[in-house]
Amino acid sequence: MSRAHKIANLIGVPLPLIGLLLMRPSELYEVERTPRGKGQLREGLRYVAGRPDLIWPIVLVGFIGTFGFNFPIWLSAFAHSVYHAGASTYGMFNTAMAAGSLVGALLAARRATTRMRLLLGAALIFSGQPRVGIAAIQTAIKLDPHDPMLPSRLNHVTAGFYFCREYQTAVEMAKQAIRSNPDYPLTYRWLAAALGQIGENVRRVSQDVIRNRARD
């Protein structure tokens, strides 16, 4: 880890604690706790089971967390085998993923509802059935082409084609997603990964994409 990284880490670690200390308790809303009673756990589980918008995201996160979240493995493999780089590049990949996760969470929070087709499509793409997942998400895009989460959907499709080893198609889909929303960072990761797989100059093509984005 370089000296600059150490300084940035040193500065960033206490920020959550500072944020907690700056909170003003007088402006918080107090919620009265429900007294403990018999059968509350069963009642809570029954309530969640009766709400598809609650139970399916829980199932989805559990499924993807078990079978799909292997980021440390393939990010390190990309850094070592595809880009022939070291720990600094691996750290950059993790930083990009963290930034994309934050942006995705903020965009997802804007939605009042989520289509089941999109949830299942994303789960299938990251759980070994990318072609089925791609078909589900592409159908959802056709049904709602003006979805504010369209960049995220196109990013999932890009990832699906990458997992299918159709790298050229993944590159074209990533470019389409970038044209849709150039500020969505996760797509650039998949673009770089697909370019590396087909032997293209990642830096040159990425700069061309960014240049065309600025021109648009």
- Residue 175 CA to residue 187 CA, distance in Å, equals 8
Predicted confidence band at 71 (pLDDT cuts at 50, 70, 90)?
A: confident
Q: Which domain holds residue 210?
A: 70-216
Cα–Cα distance measured from residue 96 to residue 159, given in angstroms and rounded to the nearest whole number: 15
pLDDT of residue 208: 59
Please indicate, yes or no, whether residues 142 and 180 belong to a single structural domain of this protein: yes
Same-domain check for residues 82 and 120: yes
Average pLDDT over residues 68-95: 80
DSSP per residue, 151-179: HHHHHHHHHHHHHTT-HHHHHHHHHHHHH
Q: Are residues 57 and 129 in the same domain?
A: no
Span 160-194, pLDDT tens digits: 999 998 999 998 888 888 888 877 777 888 888 88
Chain-centroid distance of CA 64 in Å reads 12
Higher pLDDT, 174 or 204: 174
Q: Which two tokens stand for residue 195?
A: 């370019």
- Whether 65 and 118 share a structural domain: no
Kindly report, residue by residue over 109-153, the tens digit of the pLDDT: 666 555 667 777 877 887 778 898 899 888 888 887 887 778 888
Distance in angstroms (rounded) separating the CA atoms of residues 209 and 80: 25
At residue 211, does pLDDT exceed 60? no
Is residue 85 over pLDDT 50? yes
Q: Is the pLDDT of residue 102 over 70?
A: yes
| Average pLDDT, rounded, for the chain | 79
In this structure, the dihedral spanned by the alpha carbons of residues 86, 90, 95 and 99, taken in order and rounded to 10 degrees, is: 140
Which residue type sits at 161? Answer: F
The domain tally of the chain equals 2
pLDDT surpassing 80 at residue 202: no
| CA 23/CA 18 separation, integer angstroms | 9
**pLDDT band at residue 216, thresholds of 50, 70 and 90?**
very low
Both 96 and 109 in a single domain?
yes
Q: What is the per-residue pLDDT for 214?
A: 46
Angstrom CA distances, 174 to 46, 121, 203, stand at 42, 18, 15
Residue 35 is assigned to a structural domain of this protein: no
Q: Is residue 4 part of a domain?
A: no
Strand boundaries in 40-182, DSSP class E: none
116 and 169 within one domain: yes
